[in-house]
Amino acid sequence: MEEIDYSTVVFGDVRAAPKVSVLMTEQKSNLSVLTAENEQLITERNLLERETEQLSRVTDNLNWTLSIILRFDTFPVHDYCPDKECQPCLKDWIQFEEKCYLFYNEEAPWMTAPESQTYCRNKAADLVVIDSLHEQEFISNHTKYYYDEFHGYWLGLYTTNNKDWVWIDGRNGTLGYWIGESFGDPGRCALMIPGRNVTASWDPADCGMQNKFICESDVLVKV
């Protein structure tokens, strides 16, 4: 009768155990390599995404700058880009967020509202349009009392024939920081009166009255 090797029946071939151990070690090693490669791919993907976002911002900013340049019939290169390095705003203009502001503070005679808008347009700008309390505070902080309490700075805000207040860019003047009581006969153009409460400093005035004014334009270069 053939002799039975009970060690292989009950326990299997004990000689196969080292082979299983080697196989498991190889699998662990392969898994570790694959994990490292996957982490490297994730890192590279994140880097590419950041580079793509940065390139997109650069492209958007260049398109923005080009759109501003095209507003000029003749772009004043030397004024905006002294020493061949372009600035967000012209000299004597003040930057606030993505806008540039010119506070006209020349001596009298000053300008009517239409004359002020023409002056701003000649500089590829408009009379200022106020979009928020934050902007209102900025402008209020840069205006100063002059001549008398009736004079102020022209805003790009006027009334239409149906008495609605409209901004120079065509938007309805839903935001308002009116004084409440008018100094004189209500006019069709809006002044900001310096030295008043920041939330109550606008006053309607005759558009033919001569005042200082504020021009506003987009920045040439976004930072």
- pLDDT of res. 109: 95
Domain with 59 in it = 16-66
| Residue predicted with more confidence, 49 or 204 | 204
Residue 59 covered by a domain: yes
Same domain membership, residue 93 and residue 37: no
Domain assignment present for 6? no
Tell me: do 92 and 186 sit in the same domain: yes
Give 100-126 pLDDT, tens digit per residue: 999 999 999 999 999 999 999 999 899
Burial class (CB in 10 A: 0-12, 13-18, 19+), 81: middle
The predicted-structure confidence for 25-83, as pLDDT tens digits, reads as follows: 888 788 888 888 888 888 888 888 787 777 767 777 777 788 888 887 788 888 888 88
Number of domains in the chain: 2
Question: Does 8 map to a domain?
Answer: no
pLDDT for residue 175 is more than 60: yes
Structure confidence at residue 164 as a pLDDT band (50, 70, 90): confident
Interval 87-101 mean pLDDT? 94
Residues 154 and 196 in one domain: yes
Mark whether 106 and 170 lie in a shared domain: yes
Q: Binning pLDDT at 50, 70 and 90, where does residue 202 land?
A: very high
**pLDDT higher than 70, residue 161:** yes
Same domain, yes or no: 123 and 213: yes
Query: Would you report the helix, strand and coil content of the chain in percent, each value rounded to 5?
Result: 40, 20, 45
Residue 122 lies in a domain: yes
Burial (CB count within 10 angstroms: exposed 0-12, middle 13-18, buried 19+), residue 113: buried
Q: Are residues 161 and 119 in the same domain?
A: yes
CATH number at residue 203: 3.10.100.10
Cα separation values, 181 from 140, 176, 187, Å: 19, 14, 13
CA distance 124 to 70: 10
* pLDDT band (50, 70, 90) for residue 222: confident
Q: Are residues 121 and 163 in the same domain?
A: yes
Are 207 and 128 in a shared domain? yes
Residue 113 belongs to some domain of the structure? yes
The answer as to whether 77 is a domain residue is no
pLDDT at 181: 64
**183 or 54, which is more confident:** 54
Confidence category of residue 137, pLDDT binned at 50, 70, 90: very high
Are 99 and 198 within one domain?
yes
Least confident of 30-39, 82-91, 132-141, 208-217: 30-39
For residue 214, tell me if it sits in a domain: yes
| CB 214, CB 153: distance < 8 Å | yes
Average pLDDT score over residue span 133-139? 97
Q: So what's the pLDDT on residue 196?
A: 93
pLDDT at 168: 95
What 8-state DSSP symbol labels residue 73?
Answer: S
Residue at 55 is within a domain: yes
Q: Give percent above pLDDT 70 in the chain.
A: 88
Answer yes or no: do 162 and 213 share one domain.
yes
On whether both 56 and 99 belong to a single domain, the answer is: no
Same domain, 45 and 124: no
